[in-house]
Amino acid sequence: MCGIIAYTGRQESYPILLQGLQRLEYRGYDSAGIALLDGQLKVYKKAGKVSDLENFVASKQLTGRIGIGHTRWATHGAPNDANAHPQVAYSGKLALVHNGIIENYSTLKQDLLNKGYVFKSETDTEVLAHFIEEVQQQNQCTLEEAVRLALTKVVGAYALVILSEDLPNTLIAARKGSPMVIGIGHDEFFVASDTAPIVAYTDQVVFISDHEMAVIQDNQLSMKSLEDVPLTPAIQKLDMALETIEKGSFTHFMLKEIFEQPKAIRDCMRGRLEVDSPNLVLGGIRSHIDKLARAHKITIVACGTSWHAGLVAEYFLEEFCRIPVEVEYASEFRYRKPVIGAGDFVLAISQSGETADTLAAVELAKAQGATILGICNVVESSIARAAHAGIYTHAGPEVGVASTKAFTTQLTVLFMVALKLAQHRGTVDATTFYKLLQHLATIPEAVETVLQQHDHVKQIAQAFQDAPNCLYLGRGYNFPVALEGALKLKELSYIHAEGYPAAEMKHGPIALIDEAMPVVFTATQDRSYGKIISNIEEVKARRGRVIVIVTEGDKVASKLADYVIEVPPMHEALMPMIAVIPLQLLAYHMAVIRGCDVDRPRNLAKSVTVE
């Protein structure tokens, strides 16, 4: 949520900042800005997307080998030019970009107002910029020390970078609760919210941890804690190829990522799934598996699509492992008094590993003695680091705001965890274990088969492009698939969509059904097939228009439906990984046909680092 990029080195900074902002735009895109320093500080900012900023600065003189940039997802203050970052301090000499929320900003602001400070924006970030200057003046100290002192007084979350006219070769960065990474090149440094804008230049990175600050001065990096203890930067090698964050021949990142799923799932299983042995090698949780097998219960915390993956996992963890599972919205879990303690396991699922509510839920459960297993995609992300152990999904960078390959790879990991656990607990026999591994191994191929229906799904999308509402129904393992399908449609195409367990339809949603209401059923062959047929009949009796996802060769549901999408046969516990694919494609095409910005849907952001 909000993207930060900063550069200092031998090159002109503007092209690097601009490209960095483009690569970070999925984090927020309601306004963008840059500050360049070439003797004098120059700040340019504009409401709208990064392309609006680019047009705005086209005729300006954009020189300077040091600079900072920001793309915003608004929290305090409307998305307009004034509220865009960088925010400039009172002297006009200090510019600051910030990701996060300063919770005590109104108290700080009131103090500053009393002292005569004037504010040009409604942001908490401007408060911080003025406050740092005020602290420097009061303490007559260096800017670095002023930043440190000011941050000890700040409540909230931040990742920030500061550029000052008084220190022309210096960037000061700090982090608490929002991600930040430094890239170390040849005579140049990059500071960014994630590695996407850095990977084109260097593979040497340092992840800043919470309560740490970094100073890059005259091409030297030094780090310290906010308690003023010097730290040695831990340089790591970045394992990411540039093409993984580029669209290639695809029109949108989302479409690229939908089509990447067979590869992403294979990458996720590589080195872990050994069908012939048969065995599962889950190194990340090896030392916890005995304890996990004795767990009283497993609690899953997540948000958005990751929460839907958790719901599917609840079904197969309970079915195969016979352990009670609760799936919690992280945002709810953290604000009630959950009964959780030593002996309990919490699975935190998060693509980004940075979602503020999931991270807070993890911290809470950890403080209460639970063991935390992280299932994240982004390596070295906050949740991955906060967890006691974990497994990466290895899906590669997911740039499209609507999550696709993260979901299917999360399910892959969760299924492997469930089977490993079931094997340990003796709740599945050897034959079943082997069969389930075999099924899992065929998923990439099955996804490839479904992807061949791309054009067919596009035609269905055309038929429904003007629908004002849409209902998604499924039972058992396919109920979370219905939720995920509905989420994809509403976030991308702005069509109101609801996902429901099909049997619950008669307790409410059935009142909405008429000839204008498309109803998407996932009616693949499983133990509830017969029941869902009755639900389709109920919709048809009320003249609803039905799209069904069925197993190849289906005879009954297909006859009832107006539109049919076939998927290959699959064990029902793994069907969500297959059945979700046409729903991703349907939402994608509906959005494209309706002229929506698929990769940057309005009001959303990829990584939600605020509560």
Where does this chain bind ligand G6P (CB under 6 A)?
Answer: 303-306, 350-352, 355, 358, 401-403, 604, 606-608
Least gap, CB of 403 to ligand G6P (angstroms): 4
3-class secondary structure per residue, 340-351: CCCCCEEEEEEC
Q: Which is nearer to ligand G6P, 355 or 551 (CB)?
A: 355
Least gap, CB of 591 to ligand G6P (angstroms): 14
The alpha carbons of the chain give a radius of gyration, in whole angstroms, of 25
Catalytic residue list contains 49? no
Q: Which of 109, 176, 490, 606 is catalytic?
A: 606
Residues 236 and 221: their CA atoms lie apart, in Å, by 14
Least gap, CB of 493 to ligand G6P (angstroms): 15
Which residue has the closest beta carbon to ligand G6P? 304
What is each CA distance from 379 to 375, 392, 470, 573, in whole angstroms? 10, 7, 36, 28
Q: State the amino acid at position 550 in one-letter form.
A: V
Q: Which is nearer to ligand G6P, 375 or 519 (CB)?
A: 375
Q: Which is nearer to ligand G6P, 584 or 607 (CB)?
A: 607
DSSP H/E element including 413? helix 405-425
Q: Which is nearer to ligand G6P, 13 or 178 (CB)?
A: 178
Least gap, CB of 454 to ligand G6P (angstroms): 21
For 504, counting Cβ atoms within 10 Å of its Cβ (0-12 exposed, 13-18 middle, 19+ buried), the class is middle
**Coil/strand/helix, residue 261:** helix
Least gap, CB of 519 to ligand G6P (angstroms): 24
The answer to whether the peptide bond before residue 15 is cis (omega within 30 degrees of 0) is no
Residues 370 and 355: their CA atoms lie apart, in Å, by 20
Q: Which is nearer to ligand G6P, 348 or 510 (CB)?
A: 348
Nearest CA to 415 among 291, 582, 277, 265? 265
DSSP H/E element including 459? helix 454-463
Question: Is residue 5 within 8 Å of residue 14, measured between CB atoms?
Answer: no
Q: Which is nearer to ligand G6P, 372 or 428 (CB)?
A: 372
Q: Which is nearer to ligand G6P, 35 or 402 (CB)?
A: 402
Residues 103 and 568: their CA atoms lie apart, in Å, by 51
Least gap, CB of 355 to ligand G6P (angstroms): 3
Q: For the range 164-167, what are the long-range contacts, defined as Cβ-Cβ under 8 Å and sequence gap of 24 or more? A: 164/41, 164/93, 164/94, 164/95, 165/37, 165/40, 165/41, 165/93, 165/94, 166/93, 166/94, 167/143, 167/217
Q: Which is nearer to ligand G6P, 202 or 351 (CB)?
A: 351
Residues 353 and 368: their CA atoms lie apart, in Å, by 21
Least gap, CB of 258 to ligand G6P (angstroms): 13
Nearest CA to 37 among 170, 141, 132? 170
Residues 100 and 173: their CA atoms lie apart, in Å, by 14
Catalytic residue list contains 120? no
**Coil/strand/helix, residue 386:** helix
Question: Is residue 370 within 8 Å of residue 291, measured between CB atoms?
Answer: no
Least gap, CB of 611 to ligand G6P (angstroms): 13
Catalytic residue set? 2, 606
